[in-house]
Amino acid sequence: MPKKDPCKVFACRIQKCLEDNKFQESACQYAIEDLHNCCRKWKNQSLVCDGIKIAPTPKA
């Protein structure tokens, strides 16, 4: 496991966004998606991603 959690910054960004937007999840979808993308890549190396259910990347 890496010393620094690669997805922690994205989890912190979600928390900040929620606080700034009176906990309106819809205002923070971009941050949530960023975390999901990180977890798709680092799910086995990130404690932040533990317990988060991530759907596969949608195909265009």
DSSP string, 5-20: -TTHHHHHHHHHHHHH
pTM of the predicted protein model: 0.81
Q: What is the per-residue pLDDT across 1-56, written as a single tens digit (0 to 9) for each?
A: 447 999 999 999 999 999 999 999 999 999 999 999 999 999 889 999 998 887 77
Per the document, the length of the chain is: 60
pLDDT at res. 3: 72
Alpha-helical (H) ranges within 1-60 are 8-20, 29-42
Q: 19-45 in b/e burial notation, b at 16+ Cβ within 10 A?
A: eeeeeeeeebeebbebbbebbeebeee
Q: Domains of the chain, with CATH numbers?
A: 1-51 (1.10.287.1130)
